[in-house]
Structure 1
Amino acid sequence: MEKITYDAMRNFILENELTDSVAISLHPDSFDELVMDYLDFNGNKIERPFEILGIEILQDNTGSVSKNKINTMNMVQ
Structure 2
Amino acid sequence: MEKITYDGMRNFIIENELTDSVAITLHPDNFDDLVMDYLDINGNQIERPFEILGIEILQDNTGGVTKSKINLMNVV
The alpha-carbon deviation at position 63 of structure 1 amounts to 0.3
Corresponding position: 1:43 with 2:43: yes
Number of residue pairs the alignment of both structures matches: 76
Provide the alpha-carbon RMSD of the alignment.
0.3
Where structure 2 has 5 or more consecutive residues not aligned to the other structure, the ranges are none
* Percent of aligned pairs with the same amino acid: 84
Give the alignment's TM-score, normalised by structure 2.
0.99
Q: List, as ranges, runs of 4+ consecutive aligned residues in structure 1 with deviation greater than 2 Å.
A: none
| Aligned position for 1:33 | 33
The alpha-carbon deviation at position 7 of structure 1 amounts to 0.2
Aligned counterparts of 2:5 and 2:16: Cα–Cα separation in 1 = 16
Q: What per-residue deviation string (whole Å, max 9, x for no partner) do you get for residues 13-65 of structure 1?
A: 00000000000000000000000000000000000000000000000000010
Where structure 1 has 5 or more consecutive residues not aligned to the other structure, the ranges are none
Give the alignment's TM-score, normalised by structure 1.
0.98
